[in-house]
Structure 1
């Protein structure tokens, strides 16, 4: 008999899997099995929630101390400590309950967790796992219900949840409106989307637009574009309810994306919505890109120091054709054009991950990803070395040389956590190409064909003082220490799994499969993102898809 907590279960009926401090039961006769690749998702979520909880506790304390005429530093010097803040968490699509059980056991001082799922068998699994982990149903509350209806039942401020976690099979877009309204002012939303065929490709453009309100682009920056489309959709959903979002950490991970955003109530900030969204013009020749904001914000200061803010229409500046090679544009978006991350939050979350490395099974990868994210330049999208050099048919250029040239010219440079050969910079487009033009002049290169894209780019005069002398900004700390900076295949045939017990044709809602070096086997066991629920009846499965 399996017996972790007070509850016991027949070993012949259930297998057990341990992750973090949780041990989960799941039936042996079910096709569903545990997907260890998703442990990183859950580890990052716990670290993000704990970091956010500490930030909010300090913010609340600072407000209280301000009324008393004191600061946090003065209070700490007097021996006072931050009051305990007990957040309420809603996991809207819980499946087996693994995530909620881990939250309950690894995040101290929680008020309670509402662990919801649409499927009755999944709710029974949640109850079984709560009992097996010796947790009370007062702390982890199993709930049977449609995710959207449950969230809409918590619209009143007194009923809001401090954290709303959305981790569906496929797209989170159907749940965004309810989610942004059920979270408290300053609360945290944790959102996963696995439909990368929609967000990061060009085969389901109409599906992407209907789900996220923006068009995808098949460019080198496709995974960051996916993040920006999702953030644009979340921000637009929030703005309809006089709210705005503050991205804390936005991650492109394996076969999905995961964002952590704070939702604030502020009608004034909502007026900036259009200026935080841009159309993206992608050149079909050299793959350059131009962002066209949907709106603009103008701040003027009078002689007496009074600031006036005006909101208006943006002026078109992308041009009819690419300024570098003259090719036509494809237009994507609108997508989020503001920062993907809060650097102070990332720094604090990284410190937490390092201090609690023993508690996270994927701590090395957490440290690596958060370090790279902390180094990223706050500029939308990125080029890649491959695309830049391919456009002019020249030898490759190293990241060190590219970064040094940009830094020596006075601009910022970094790679991206989404692509190890990315060139992320705040330099104007012509400066980036000036560096490539100068690189071509350094060594032997074939004469480009007359009228070709390469010829048009190289014919332009170099107007930037390009210096390839080594600059320290080209070799950030993450490159100097041994970190798991980018994804490595964790196991054979890893990736998203099909819905339990169902065989479906490839479609726009299916999670994208990662590329593999070898041909995948003809059949694979099915699994959910966490330890998925038992196979749903056909009508229940479709109902969950349409929630």
Structure 2
């Protein structure tokens, strides 16, 4: 296997050279490496460091004693960056023999043999065998087959990526139903739908092990969803998390939506505005997606880190931090299309809506998305007046 050196952050590792004529990401390369996920890894380094400092302060343990696992390491670049730039005790795992050998080379290359270890196992087997303070689940595709083992293994922080956005967001409806045991909707806020379907699935998996969760940071970027979830042990914590699950009903015709908490709810699926039949989605997570304090801690860590995608990463974290805490954004352009007007400038519209007394913010999901506690009729009225 041919390899070449790449540097991300201040960590240099060997990655495979794809076969001739095969562009990145090298789906046919013996060991997977995707340079387009550097932004994801930059945020991971800062978020893991922020949480490691918080955990070290709360539990009075040294950062080097915090146990982190990169469950599907491939070349090892994510886990080695965590070991090198965060300083936690890192396990890098992959069940591919070729990946395992490359990880061993990279541990030697980076001089991290005292901080990082390599294992060659099925990820589920490893997570059922051992407990880790921080579990990083970053599969190629859906994390669903690994969530039972991950939620069993994790003690403090679960970091999870899903790249199967089509099933999560309702574009591949039956696949989403099978993998996440939830009904997704493929509409204007499908990206947030994917985040909340994933978090709802994780909350249900954690509850099986008498664990609850608090989302610290969740974002949908390009082709993937990424979430950082603080895990709390105990049946009461699991019950508290389950109370954040529920259902959405949405009118595709006029845009009206309503939320219902609970897993056994009675829902009238007739739209109160236009009497159209409403679509039902769920169960999904209706609670917070981000913790403002944690986002500030991540931003503070980014200032001192050498990150190749720092400015782009900061924009995502700032947008997440400043999002209004409620389920599902509106798309301004789609609303304007429904009511037959041209879309005004976003900033002017946000200020006009805020002047009515409503809470409102832009979101990280798209440039035309916003969240508000204003009723849809009020939103339409503000838009028509501009």
What TM-score do the two structures reach when normalised by structure 2?
0.92
Aligned 8 A contact 2:167 2:175 in 1: yes
1:97 and 2:46 matched: no
Deviation at 1:27, TM superposition (A): 4.6
Tell me how many residue pairs correspond in the alignment. Answer: 376
> Which residue in the other structure is 1:283 paired with?
251
Kept after mapping to 1: 8 A contact 2:170/2:176: no
Residue 323 of structure 2: aligned partner: 376
1:18 maps to 7
Q: Is the 8 A contact 1:96 1:122 kept in 2?
A: yes
Q: Distance in 1 between matches of 2:85 and 2:134?
A: 15
How far apart, CA to CA, are the structure 2 residues paired with 1:163 and 1:274?
Answer: 22
Q: Is the 8 A contact 2:76 2:103 kept in 1?
A: yes
Unaligned runs of 5+ in 1: 1-11, 62-81, 155-159, 296-312, 444-547
1:358-408 CA-to-partner distances (Å, cap 9, x unmatched) read: x11111011111111111000100111112111111222332343223322
Say if 2:48 and 2:82, in contact at 8 Å, map to a contact too: no
Match of 2:372 among 425, 428, 445: 425
Instruction: Kindly state the Cα deviation for residue 439 of structure 1 after the two structures are TM-superposed.
Output: 3.6
1:51 alignment counterpart = 50
More helix by share: 2
The range that moved more, 235-244 or 275-284, is 275-284
How far the C-alpha of 1:283 sits from its partner, in A, is 0.7
Query: How far apart are the structure 2 equivalents of 1:282 and 1:88?
Result: 43
Alpha-carbon shift at residue 320 of structure 1 (Å): 3.2
Larger Rg: 1
Matches within 5 A, 1:87-166: 87-108=66-87, 110=88, 112-136=89-113, 138-154=114-130, 160-166=131-137
Paired residue for 2:276?
327
CA distance in 1, matches of 2:139, 2:3: 25
Cα displacement (A) at 1:438: 4.7
Tell me how far apart the structure 1 counterparts of residues 64 and 118 of structure 2 sit (CA, whole Å). Answer: 23
* Distance verdict in 2 for CA 1:133–1:337, change over 3 Å: same
The structure-2 alpha-carbon separation of the partners of 1:268 and 1:28, relative to structure 1 and needing over 3 Å to count, comes to closer
Match for residue 352 of structure 1? Answer: 301
Given the alignment, which residue of 291, 296, 316 partners 1:342? 291
Structure 2: state its 5+ residue gaps: none
1:205-240 Cα distance to aligned partner (Å, 9 max, x none): 222122112111111111011000110011100001
Contact 2:212 2:240 in 1 (8 A): no
Q: Is the 8 A contact 2:360 2:371 kept in 1?
A: yes
Measured in 2, the distance between the counterparts of 1:421 and 1:210 equals 31
RMSD: 2.0
| Distance in structure 1 (CA, Å) of the matches to 2:282 and 2:72 | 28
With structure 1 as the length reference, what TM-score do the two structures score? 0.66
Q: Is the 8 A contact 1:219 1:287 kept in 2?
A: no
Q: Which residue is 2:139 aligned to?
A: 168
Q: SS of the counterpart of 2:51?
A: helix
